[in-house]
Amino acid sequence: MSFELGVYTFGNTPRTSHSDSGGGYGSTAQAIREALEAVHLAEEVGLDFFGFGEHHTASMPLSSPTSMVVAAAASTQRIKLGTTVTVLSTDDPVRVFQQLATASALAPGRVEAVAGRGSSSITFGLFDYDEGDYDLLYASKFEMLLALNANERLTWDGPHRERPLADALIVPRPEQPLRIWLGTGGSPSSVGRAVELGVPMFLGILGGTPQHWAQYGHAYRSAWAEMGHPSEDAGIAVAVHGFVGPDNAAAKATYLEHELKMFATGAAEVGRPGMAPLGREAAMQPGGMVFAGSPNEVADRILHLHQLLGHDRQILQMDVGGMPHADYLKSIELLGTQVLPQVRKELGQ
């Protein structure tokens, strides 16, 4: 696949005027409507992909990414859509598949899924699962999701089910199989699991360096070739924090302000200490993995990462920490109209 550029969101609830002093947020319903508005703009400015993540907090209330994919599928014409990620450990793979297959009926060939284990413990209590079964649930459900994608009728008996399925009819069917990615935050074992199952790998990245993440790409592609999988089925996508503004310094300052708010409030909402990862200012400079800056700098850094990692898709989370919606939309516009053309030109697309 040629290189693709896009955006992803967990929802971004507007802040009230007293949020910084311990107050609350505005309407979570408004955050959902604004996420759909962002998809429409991303398509308008020519971006390739829009992804919907899953969180269950007041600040990031996008708790049903498959629902958002269906809504976006019904109201767009060209852009690819997907979950980034579905927390499969605490969801039902049959329903996840059915909902995405429904979206695919509305947007044939444009719907994908990234399935991950999740980054917090919230969903285990919310959906009545034992957090101690964290990896067993994910492994079993991911294999079942792949089987659902491949078979209209399914017989299945896995450790996450109390009762086996026996020749169950799974409808609707997408007119071509969904592309299902394995989502990981960088666990080496997840790289091996993606290769073993023959699926593309989606890296959720918060820090590190391009050189560090390039090692994952090399390991994945080397193991993929050794397994003898078709080369065209391999794929690497990266999800990073990022923001584009007309002025380089101002863009970095704007994003840093809201990203630090996101780390502080988000950690408190899931019961962890409100500490941001160290060195966020440095992470926004060349050599880091936060892609904030002017269109020229962001394009140059995407190209540099691509040279090292050889990834097929990069998506940016821009709407963090109650960032004003107008700033978010302007960043999407610049990503599509100024960053993407530079990247395509350099890559000969």
Q: Which domains does the chain have, with CATH numbers?
A: 4-347 (3.20.20.30)
Residue 47 CA to residue 6 CA, distance in Å, equals: 5
> Most distant CA pair in the chain: distance in Å?
59
The confidence score (pLDDT) of residue 275 equals 65
Residue 314 host element (H or E): strand 313-317
The confidence score (pLDDT) of residue 123 equals 87
The confidence score (pLDDT) of residue 348 equals 95
Give the pLDDT confidence of 153-185 residue by residue, as tens digits: 999 999 999 999 999 999 999 999 999 999 999
Distance of CA 302 to the CA centre of its chain: 17
What is the SS3 assignment for 9? strand
The confidence score (pLDDT) of residue 121 equals 83
Give the pLDDT confidence of 96-121 residue by residue, as tens digits: 999 999 999 999 999 999 999 876 78
The confidence score (pLDDT) of residue 21 equals 43
The confidence score (pLDDT) of residue 23 equals 52
Closest of 330, 255, 335, 268 to residue 295, by C-alpha: 335
Instruction: Specify the length of the chain in residues.
Output: 349
Residue 255 CA to residue 259 CA, distance in Å, equals: 6
State which residues of the chain have pLDDT below 70: 1, 17-23, 119, 271-275
Q: Whole-model pTM?
A: 0.95
Concatenating the DSSP letter of every residue in 147-168 gives: HHHH-SEEEE--TT-SS-EEEE
